[in-house]
Structure 1
């Protein structure tokens, strides 16, 4: 079984565990140990995986961390597991902090059997960071996440490469958060910073207030341009693949059902988004009288998006785990890209239920 298939199987297992494995111990057996096995470890070999690892820490005698994982002659991972119903944002994991300081491990993992949070010591050497550098979610992962998690496989483990990637991911995440905050609501300093590149006069408070909506609009315009460029690039390749399908649909249409150019363009956009996690050939369009459906594997029971373009305003319908539809109004087709995460989450959910 490939690594990708192992993770997919683990995702299915975690879905089942939610109903049964409500304690920490049950979560360990149902998901955490299979997770370590997917990473290439022999979970029953104490020279690789040490359960209930004890290392006295100052006045804290006999404290345990759930697992210590050894690669060669070094302990590389410390793992603390919580019950599958635990919200990791609210979880206490003081043992990980203390053990990280006194052991040679440079990776600490906190998990509830669905999410796996990875920590290291980017900020202060030998002191575990308070925020994870990588989060892996069995409910919502993509090809990039798989590439990152595979770095922790016993056969590919390289602590220096992981720490280098961890630093990059951390600062990328912080930069993205800052840019996103400025995009939504540019603060005074950011407006002044941008204004200095084109405004020749004195940048007073009144000037800042006048330029703020302009800079926000510039962000929006730039996003639309980038989204359109990406769409056009993918369209060049996918249009050739999708054209026969669109033509077949047109031939099947009755006088009551007309597939519009807007619907075709939206289909190509959604297909381009989904191609990040699955072959574009898995994404199909099926037009109906009241909406145009975008389906996974041409299966009506696996809806990805519904296009409600027949009224005066455009709406797209996205789906939750129960396949309940939520309609979202959009002003332009480019706005579909802003719902990329929700679309990929739906497709990833279907991929996780595919037979291994």
Structure 2
């Protein structure tokens, strides 16, 4: 939950500041370093975060990657940063070269808004062409936040992340294919369904008809599933409310209002009737106390009476609704608190 809130705060910061950020260096300090920090790494600790990490390429010396994250003294992830306005697609090859020479397991390409995590699933020590985790930090889904949490210092486990990366990568690619087919079904996709429901020859005209039918059927199916889930959630909420109401009714049924409590209520009414009409004064009995309210409003308690035990009490309320509990010997002692009770009515009347 904490990571969720931190990511939301970073997203809000990005939306507020991005139009004032002009350079790559400003992007690093305003957006990327805070992201590194919320993963649990101290960007000011050179044993955890090394800026300008050396990534010499053969004879080409002096090559540096923007940041390297260290864990147990070893670099586990390199980070290449770009200006938040830049398109990341043109920078993959540069990061791939750094990945090869630094021998890390993970590489992150980011412009502070978009984040792309890579590893070497296809070939050892050769960065994959496609990221296994990709997201826009200003538009995060719950399952993505769960994946980000795996990179937190407290959770970091190379083997677990790598094993899960393959699933993430292929799932992402499959979802892209599904979305593409839903928007514009391919010939083979349409044929897959048309061949199972149409017994005639699949001519070009028939395939065109089925292209629209397949798209329509999928959209309706998705819509129906969403509605089913919403209805299910609403039904559960209704059931919960009904259960709560039943519990409340059962609790009320256990409450027995005594004649002494009703007599105490009449005393309070007698005190307050000089200031307000009596039908505004209402009592509610509970298992814990006998409450007296103004306008039948829980937010306007006048007093509470505790008369069932060996000792009797009256609870009074000040302007801030702080409770003052006083012991009484009998309900006739309620008259002693006439001034406080009238003052409580004044508090509520002045609020209006």
Query: What's the TM-score once normalised by structure 1's chain length?
Result: 0.61
Question: 1:331 aligns to what?
Answer: none
Select the structure with the greater relative contact order (CA < 8 A; seq sep ≥ 6).
1
Query: Aligned-pair distance for 1:16?
Result: 4.2
Following the alignment from structure 2 to structure 1, what is the Cα–Cα distance between the partners of residues 49 and 143?
Answer: 27
Question: 1:74 aligns to what?
Answer: 74
What SS class does the counterpart of residue 156 from structure 1 fall into? coil
Question: 1:169 aligns to what?
Answer: 168
Question: 2:42 aligns to what?
Answer: 42
Following the alignment from structure 1 to structure 2, what is the Cα–Cα distance between the partners of residues 139 and 209?
Answer: 39
Task: Check whether the contact 1:136–1:149 (CA below 8 A) recurs between aligned residues.
Answer: no
Q: How does 1:182-197 map to 2 (within 5 A)?
A: 182-197=181-196
What SS class does the counterpart of residue 85 from structure 2 fall into? coil
Q: How does 1:127-206 map to 2 (within 5 A)?
A: 127-206=126-205
Following the alignment from structure 2 to structure 1, what is the Cα–Cα distance between the partners of residues 4 and 205?
Answer: 55
Question: 2:101 aligns to what?
Answer: 102
Following the alignment from structure 1 to structure 2, what is the Cα–Cα distance between the partners of residues 137 and 215?
Answer: 31
Once the two structures are overlaid, the 10-residue window that deviates more, 147-156 or 6-15, is 6-15
Following the alignment from structure 1 to structure 2, what is the Cα–Cα distance between the partners of residues 2 and 123?
Answer: 34
Kindly report structure 1 stretches of 4+ aligned residues shifted beyond 6 Å.
240-243
Question: 1:118 aligns to what?
Answer: 117
Distance change (3 Å), C-alpha of 1:110 and 1:189:
same
Following the alignment from structure 1 to structure 2, what is the Cα–Cα distance between the partners of residues 148 and 165?
Answer: 9
Distance change (3 Å), C-alpha of 1:97 and 1:22:
same
Please give the per-residue CA displacement for 1:276-298, whole angstroms capped at 9, x wherever unaligned.
xxxxxxxxxxxxxxxxxxxxxxx
User: For structure 1, which runs of at least 5 residues remain unmatched after alignment?
Assistant: 244-356
Distance change (3 Å), C-alpha of 1:185 and 1:82:
closer
Q: How does 1:1-356 map to 2 (within 5 A)?
A: 2-89=2-89, 91-239=90-238
Query: Aligned-pair distance for 1:202?
Result: 4.5
What SS class does the counterpart of residue 67 from structure 1 fall into? strand
Following the alignment from structure 1 to structure 2, what is the Cα–Cα distance between the partners of residues 38 and 109?
Answer: 15
Distance change (3 Å), C-alpha of 1:232 and 1:79:
same
What SS class does the counterpart of residue 70 from structure 2 fall into? strand
Please give the per-residue CA displacement for 1:20-47, whole angstroms capped at 9, x wherever unaligned.
4322222222222221111111212212
Query: What's the TM-score once normalised by structure 2's chain length?
Result: 0.62
RMSD: 2.5
Please give the per-residue CA displacement for 1:205-225, whole angstroms capped at 9, x wherever unaligned.
454334333323322331222
Bigger radius of gyration, 1 or 2?
Answer: 2
What SS class does the counterpart of residue 175 from structure 2 fall into? helix
What SS class does the counterpart of residue 52 from structure 1 fall into? strand
Query: Aligned-pair distance for 1:93?
Result: 4.6
User: For structure 2, which runs of at least 5 residues remain unmatched after alignment?
Assistant: 243-352
